[in-house]
Chain A
Amino acid sequence: MTLWSIIIIASLGCLALKVSGYLVPPSFMEKPKPSRVANLLTVALLAALVATQTFGAGSEIVLDARVPAILLAAGLFALRVPFVLVIIAAAATAALLRLFF
């Protein structure tokens, strides 16, 4: 599998999902279950990605400069600091810690 084919297949999959929603009769939306599963699916996948991006290093779990960076990011998001500023602050924290330790 090449990088290009991964990109094209995943993109077409995402696009197909969007199109499929317009083909389904609106009455499907009356049921709360599909909405709830889709909503929680988003939460679970994002949370899992936070965990693997923070602690993962290949197939190992490590504690490094990313941990204090993500804790700072959580604090800043709680204070409603804009997205881009939080990302920059998290990157800077990890970079500075690596520079000094």
Chain B
Amino acid sequence: MARSAEETVAIRQAVSVGLAVSAYGISFGALGVTAGLDIWQTCVLSLLMFSGGSQFALIGVLASGGVAAGPAAIAGAVLLGSRNAIYAMRMGPIIGSGVFKRAAASHLTIDESTAVSTAQQSLRAQRVGFWWTGILIFLGWNLSTLVGAFVGDALGDVSAYGLDAAAAAAFLGLLWPRLKELQPVVVAVAAAVVAAVLTPMLPAGLPVLAAAVVAVIVGLTNWLGAKDPHTLAEEVSADTIVTEEEHP
């Protein structure tokens, strides 16, 4: 069957997003190894967890607190993955029925696949956008994680190369596109202050979880929020459209 113009657009977006995201799997691989994981543990995270924010969070907490911070590391990663559940609810009707298909789609449900899919108009293009983006990123992210892990392994001493600063910058890069309205900016600043102030008082990992309370309070009361709140998936897809137009 010939591809419609809409489907071609979806594929083109999937490829550009896929390539960009895959590239930073290299930084995840390198940081994973320098956080104390071995090459295979780093790769299993990308294969099995397959959600950038959660993966960076897990290795971030393990890097500062070691295995003792395990429970906090798990909690942080899972909390960060909660937005994928919202994406999955949005994607459910688009993916359609079929147990195997929905199981495969579950694993590929991340920021980027949801964003590319929901940016399309027709149902066919939404499906094409989701599967192309999800599969391309899955392949690229895992391949680049492996390469990054070998690079990190070869580098040795972390701080001499500034990889600790790279980890902080990686979190900032994941955060940056979400700071477009007053409410998230206020939450971000408050959460950063809470985490920094509590760092000397609590075991590693817990200050990050304590900062999550800020989000729950502001989210439930909708303090400083828009009068007509839009859904998460719509916000993310709006981001992608903007990015597409600015970087053709």
Contact = CB atoms under 8 A, between A and B. Distances in A.
Interface of A: 1-15, 17-22, 24, 26, 28-29, 32-56, 58-61, 65-66, 69-70, 73-74, 77, 80, 82-84, 86-88, 90-96, 98
21 contacts: A7-B48, A7-B49, A13-B74, A14-B78, A14-B81, A18-B84, A18-B88, A18-B109, A19-B106, A36-B225, A36-B229, A43-B184, A43-B188, A46-B53, A48-B194, A70-B168, A73-B165, A86-B169, A87-B24, A91-B165, A91-B169
Interface in B192-248: 192-196, 199-200, 203-204, 207-208, 211-212, 214-216, 218-220, 222, 225, 229-233, 235, 246
A94 B192 contact: no
Contacts, number: 329
Contacts of B179: 43
A45 B159 CA distance: 24
A20 B92 CA distance: 11
- Looking at B84, B107, B162, the one whose CB has the most chain A CB atoms below 10 A away is B162
From B37, B56, B167, residue with most partner A Cβ within 10 Å = B167
A86 B177 CA distance: 14
Interface of B: 20, 23-24, 26-27, 36-37, 41, 44-45, 48-51, 53-54, 56-58, 60, 62, 64, 67, 70-71, 73-74, 76-93, 95, 102-103, 105-107, 109, 159-176, 178-179, 183-184, 187-196, 199-200, 203-204, 207-208, 211-212, 214-216, 218-220, 222, 225, 229-233, 235, 246
Nearest to A32: B229
Contact of B215 (A17, A40, A92, A95): A40
Contact of A61 (B74, B105, B200): B200
Interface of A is mostly: helix
